[in-house]
Amino acid sequence: MPTLSMLLVVSAALFCIGLLAALSRRHAIFILIGIEMMLAAANLNFIAFWRFAPQPAQPIGIMVAIFAIAIAAAEAAVGLAMVIAVYRHFRSTNVDQLDRLKG
């Protein structure tokens, strides 16, 4: 049986991997994947805290996680649509080249 701190360590590791992916990958889709991993880490935290709460019988944590998953799905759809739109416009999904907002 895993303890709360074990789950939190896994979640923190997942978050860091996702953050690293979002910061270092150059391809827009990999950045999206990194963001999804960070969301997954947050969901894992919800579930973990819910599971080890005084009253795990009330499915609050799992409901929050399910909502977060649904929102993440919508976000991924929007994000992928934006990647496609960006690709059509710039003929590239390399985020290094997308610097129109440069000051």
Partner 1 sequence: MNSWITSNVWLIPSAPIIASLLILGSGKSARAAAVAFAVIGQIAALTMSIFAFVPTLHAHGFRAVQNFTWFTFGEQTFRIGFVLDPLAAAMLLMIALVGLCIFIFSIGYMADDTNFSRFFAYLSFFSGAMLGVVIANSLLLLFVFWELVGLASYLLIGFWIDRPSAAAAAKKAFITTRIGDMGFFLGILWLYHRSGTLLFYDGGRGCLENASLLALGASATFIALLIFCGAVGKSGQFPLHVWLPDAMEGPTPVSALIHAATMVAAGVFLVARVYPIFSVGAINGVTPSLTVVVWIGVVTGLMAALIAVAQSDIKRILAYSTVSQLGLMMVSLGVGGVAAGIMHLLAHGFFKALLFLGAGSVIHGLHHEQDIRKMGGLRGLMPVTFMTYAVGMMALSGVPFFFSGGWTKEEILHATSHWPRSHLPYYLLLLGVILTALYMTRQIIFVFFGGRRSGSEQAHESPSVMTLPLIVLAICAILFSVVLTPAWPWLGNYLTGRPARFDPHLLIQPTIIISLALVGAGVSLGIWIYRRAGETDALQHAQPALFRFLENKMWIDEIYERTVVALSAILARLSDWLDRNVWDGLVQDIGRIGQFFGRVTTSADERVINAGVDEGTSGAQGLGLLMSRWHSGQIQTYLGAVALGMLALVLLYAWLG
Where does this chain bind partner 1 (CB under 8 A)?
19, 22-24, 31, 57-59, 62, 95-96, 98-103
Pick 1 or 101: Cβ nearer partner 1: 101
For the bound state, the minimum distance from the C-beta of residue 6 to partner 1, rounded and expressed in Å, comes to 18
Pick 91 or 100: Cβ nearer partner 1: 100
| Residue environment code for 53-80, b if the CB has 16+ CB neighbours within 10 A, otherwise e | eeeeeeeebeebbeebeeebeeeeeebe
Pick 2 or 59: Cβ nearer partner 1: 59
For the bound state, the minimum distance from the C-beta of residue 99 to partner 1, rounded and expressed in Å, comes to 3
For the bound state, the minimum distance from the C-beta of residue 64 to partner 1, rounded and expressed in Å, comes to 13
Torsion, Cα 82 87 92 97, to 10 degrees, reads -50
- C-alpha to C-alpha distance for 14 and 88, rounded to whole angstroms: 32
